[in-house]
Amino acid sequence: MGKLQTAAEQTATSVSRHATTPEQPRWVVDYTRKSLDKAKTGDGVSSQHEENQELADEFDLGEIRVTYSDNDVSAYQDVERPEYLRMLADMQAGRIGIIIIWHAKRLHRKVEEVTQFIKIARASKVRLFSVARGGEYNLNKPQGRRDLINDTNEGEYESGERGERVALARKRQARNGDWGGGVRPYGWGVDTGRVRSVCVNPKAPTLERIYEDRPVLDVTQHNEAEAAEIRRWADDLLAGVKMAHVLQDLAERSVPTVAQTDARTMKRGGKQVKHDGWNSRSIRQILMHPRTAGHAVYRGAIIKHDAFPAIIPDLKWRALITLLEDPRRRTAPSNTPKWLGSLQFLCGQCDDGTTTMSVRYTDKGVAVYRCRTKGHCLTPAVEADEYVTQAIIERLSRDDVADLLPVNSTVDLEELRDRITECQKAKESAARLLARRIFDEEQAAIASQEADEELAEIRKQIDAATKSSPLAEFATSDDAAQTWKGLSRGRKREIIAELVTVRLLPAGRGHRPTIEQRVMIEPVAVPQAA
- In the predicted model, is pLDDT for residue 413 greater than 50? yes
12-160 falls under which CATH superfamily?
Resolvase, N-terminal catalytic domain (3.40.50.1390)
Length of the chain: 530
Residue 511 near residue 408, CB atoms below 8 Å:
no
Q: Which of 61-65, 217-221, 327-331, 376-380 has the weakest average pLDDT? A: 327-331
Q: What is the mean pLDDT of residues 183-205?
A: 84
Phi, psi dihedral angles at 251 (to 5 degrees)? -65, -40
Strand, coil or helix: what is 165?
A: helix
Helix (H) or strand (E) holding 233: helix 224-238
Residue 85 CA: distances (Å) to CA of 96, 118, 239, 350: 13, 14, 59, 76
Q: Which of helix, strand or coil describes residue 276?
A: coil
User: For residues 144 and 128, what is the distance between their CA atoms, to the nearest angstrom?
Assistant: 10
As a whole number, mean pLDDT of residues 165-189 equals 74
DSSP 402-464: GGGS--PPP--HHHHHHHHHHHHHHHHHHHHHHHTTSS-HHHHHHHHHHHHHHHHHHHHHHHH
Task: Give, in order, the Cα–Cα distances in Å from 58 to each of 31, 53, 55, 129, 366.
Answer: 18, 9, 5, 12, 90
Nearest CA among 337, 357, 343, 344 for reference residue 499? 344
Beta bridge partners, 375, equal: none
| pTM score | 0.56
Q: What pLDDT was estimated at residue 471? A: 81
Residue-level pLDDT at 403? 76
| Average pLDDT of the residues in 489-516 | 86
Please give the Cα distance from 448 to 423 (Å, whole number): 9
- In single-letter form, the type of residue at position 103 comes to H
Question: By three-state DSSP, how is residue 330 classified?
Answer: coil
| pLDDT over 70, % of the chain | 79
Domain ranges of the chain: 12-160, 188-324, 346-407+470-523, 413-466
- What are the CA-CA distances from residue 383 to residues 219, 339, 354, 504 (Å)? 47, 11, 23, 12
Q: What is the pLDDT of residue 529?
A: 44
Residue 466 clears pLDDT 70, i.e. is over it: no
Specify whether the CB–CB gap between 339 and 359 falls below 8 A. yes
What is the fold, at CATH topology level, of the domain defined by 188-324?
Hect, E3 ligase catalytic domain fold (3.90.1750)
The answer to whether residue 68 scores a pLDDT higher than 90 is yes
Q: Based on C-alpha coordinates, what's the Rg of the chain?
A: 35
pLDDT of residue 1: 40
Instruction: State in Å, rounded, how far the first CA of the chain is from the last one.
Output: 87
Nearest Cα to 486, choosing from 249, 136, 277, 191?
Answer: 249
